[in-house]
Structure 1
């Protein structure tokens, strides 16, 4: 592009002055400012972890996470953050990095959205004797528990076991236990589910004793050991680990 202008030039000779009209074409220089390139935003994606349920060992699952094997019980968390949420048949449900995965034995995972569960806190006040009693359930059947951190497992008498449908004679294993009255025989069983308030734990070890001892079902460390326990004044607080 350019512009045309007219210029009069005066030329003087010896006796004569001449005027010439000269047309000049002046090019126009345009400076084009190069615009800086726009920022390019690339989607940030996180690699999907490779999770495989390799085996089931009773109440535990063997899970391969990116080539590393972990053995977890329900409620346990591995150092990588892998958390075994539940076991149902040949399916394990795990949580990792804010997502939930359902793993079927020997198959690839099914990825679903996962939200961190709300923290559940159960506060138990002592009775006039200083005992901590709380309602709960065993395999969905209502019971009254006596919280006993000195008991290795959940413990109940045979009458309660029969009421709850716990077939300890057929499915139990004979063991020796120490009680306040001395050493006794008992049957070790595994309870499908034990719950207190909104806290549920699966596959809990328990013992059944013949006769009427203990009078209250003892909520022992096979359940309590999977929770956070702390005192808040006179209250005993139970919190589920996530």
Structure 2
């Protein structure tokens, strides 16, 4: 089993904002000379969207889906001083510290549900994964999928695990299904859901889930306004994912019925 090794890099150049995203990520250059799409801790959903992005992305990678490399990115408080846009100034100010970067796929094409296709097992894996992590943001309006070198790449899992926006009631979500799957952009192409579920169960072992969750930076899990501490949150993410995996057949049936 491959172990997770997340690199940490420093942002050395802010290049341009990506304004089509609600959280206004940006293309930046790091000290390793690569370009990344930087997801900011100071954006609307804050550190919780980074946690969703990270856990969802590494779960996708673990089950064999194509995901850009994820890196932790240090942002210093120097970039806002030369930034003329006040909105971006504030975003940079509140994002000083550890953020999340996705390797920039230069020349990638946005998935278009009207003309793009995915093979049955890949589409089915994405559908089942999004049911497991309660990802409400993979619709025809906003697919969050790219084509790069003739392969489908999964990006942007930041709207997953929405239970963590209210820690007082998070356990209420444990046994819920995911009716939002009805709006999934790949649902009609997902004709191998049972096979995908078998593959996912094989790769998402308790050890792998624990490893992914344990790689979430402590800093992202710390909040004075939350009722749980960092260790309790790690345990909650673990419990949520393992519980969803235990009911994967129910989630598959729900997706099949929606098809």
The TM-score range, normalised by the shorter chain, is under 0.3
In the superposition, the TM-score normalised over structure 2's length comes to 0.18
User: Larger relative contact order (C-alpha < 8 A, sep ≥ 6)?
Assistant: 2
Choose between structure 1 and 2: higher strand proportion: 1
**Greater Rg by CA:** 1
